[in-house]
Amino acid sequence: MLYKDIIKNVGQPILIRIRDAIVSREFQNIDFIKKNARLSLLWDVGFLIEISNGFVKYSSEYNGRLWDHPVVWPLAQAEKIYKLEPKKKSKQTMKTDSNLPEVVYKN
Amino acid sequence: MVHKDTAKKADQPILIKLMDAVTITDSCSMDYVTKHAQLETLWLVGFLIEINKEFIKFSSEHTSSGIWKYPVIWPKEHVEKVYKLVPVSNAKKPVELPKELPRIVHVTWGDGQSATANIATKTVIDRNVAKQIDTVGFLLINDSKRLVLTEQINLRTGNFKTIHVIYPKYSRNMLQLVPNGEIDITKDQTFS
């Protein structure tokens, strides 16, 4: 499938940097909790469904009719949203984080 | 939201003293196993869902859509005590507890939503409010940046399990609760 078909049939692929709390479900001491129970930055990818009314909505899986595990996240908790496109189309690539693995689309 | 609304909507908040086996999933020596593979007394909080002949069922998180997050279904014979939790101002004769136990609070707050099922585009677009959650927990940290609650405490080790982090700007209400009488677990009880 061509990139323009993906946009038309599924939606704009995005890379999103969001804030969420990261904690543990195992027994931990108070030092661990003080250090880790806080806002952490996460990197997510997905197809953009909608940005409106203070929320960004996206999902990384679409089966032609339904979204699998869609995310509805407060915009205030989203730090950056980048548009994703095929490497060969990209004229001026944004610098993100060198530790991030490659982002791919698989039909 | 007042306490009677919570008890009606998310059910009765409870404090539970129960016994669980504490083990480890890594390889360890016979000395470690001899010392640690034993019954431990834990303190938990949650909203009571049901007590029947064999089990007690509860959960510390209830969402506005009526879904329980990580509910616990525990054999009744491993439960030592179940206390009814009420707001401090409603408690006529609070039960005395170990002083090491932190304060217990009920917080109503809003969070982003990650669905756990396949959902149609229209349904996703129609979701325009944060998910409202009722959480009951032991309050570990309360400052301008975060409220940190835990659901389980092991007083022997001083460790905590199942942590909820709530950002003050998303919390709508925080109510301190205290135990006020025991719940008779010999009788079947269903809430909701």
Q: Does A37 touch chain B (CB under 8 A)?
A: yes
Digit-coded pLDDT (tens) for B43-98: 999 999 999 999 999 999 998 888 898 899 999 999 999 999 999 998 888 899 99
CA A91/CA B156 separation, integer angstroms: 60
Question: Could you list the pLDDT tens digit for every one of the 192 residues in chain B?
Answer: 556 666 667 789 999 999 998 777 789 999 988 888 888 999 999 999 999 999 999 999 998 888 898 899 999 999 999 999 999 998 888 899 999 999 999 999 998 888 878 999 999 999 888 889 999 999 999 999 999 999 999 999 999 999 999 998 889 889 999 999 999 888 877 765
Q: Which of B3, B57, B6, B150 is nearest to A26 (CA)?
A: B150
Instruction: Write down the pLDDT at residue B192.
Output: 54
Work out the burial of residue A12: count CB atoms within 10 Å of its CB; fewer than 13 is exposed, 13-18 middle, 19 or more buried: middle
Number of residue pairs across A and B with CB atoms under 8 Å? 101
Q: Does A24 touch chain B (CB under 8 A)?
A: yes
Strand B61-63 with B131-142, pairing: antiparallel
Residue with tokens 């950056």: A80
User: In CATH, what number is assigned to the domain containing residue A9?
Assistant: 2.30.30
DSSP assigned state of A28: B
ipTM of this complex: 0.80
Boundaries of domain holding A7? 3-89
In a domain, A70, yes or no: yes
Residue with tokens 């570990």: B140
In a domain, A99, yes or no: no
In chain A, the residue whose alpha carbon lies closest to the alpha carbon of B141 is A34
* Tokens of residue B69, six digits: 């997050």
Question: Which of chain B's residues have a Cβ under 8 Å away from the Cβ of A74?
Answer: 112, 130
In a domain, A94, yes or no: no
pLDDT at A42 exceeding the cut of 80: yes
Work out the burial of residue A97: count CB atoms within 10 Å of its CB; fewer than 13 is exposed, 13-18 middle, 19 or more buried: exposed
Question: Is the CB of A65 less than 8 angstroms away from the CB of B120?
Answer: yes
Q: Which residues pair with B133 in a beta bridge?
A: B63, B109
How far B166 CA lies from chain A's nearest CA (Å)?
8
What are residue B88's phi and psi, to 5 degrees? -50, -40
Burial readout B175-189 (b: 16 or more C-beta within 10 A, e: otherwise): bebbbbeebebeeee
3-state secondary structure of B30: helix
In a domain, A58, yes or no: yes
What is the domain count for chain A? 1
In a domain, A104, yes or no: no
pTM for the whole structure: 0.83
How far B107 CA lies from chain A's nearest CA (Å)?
16
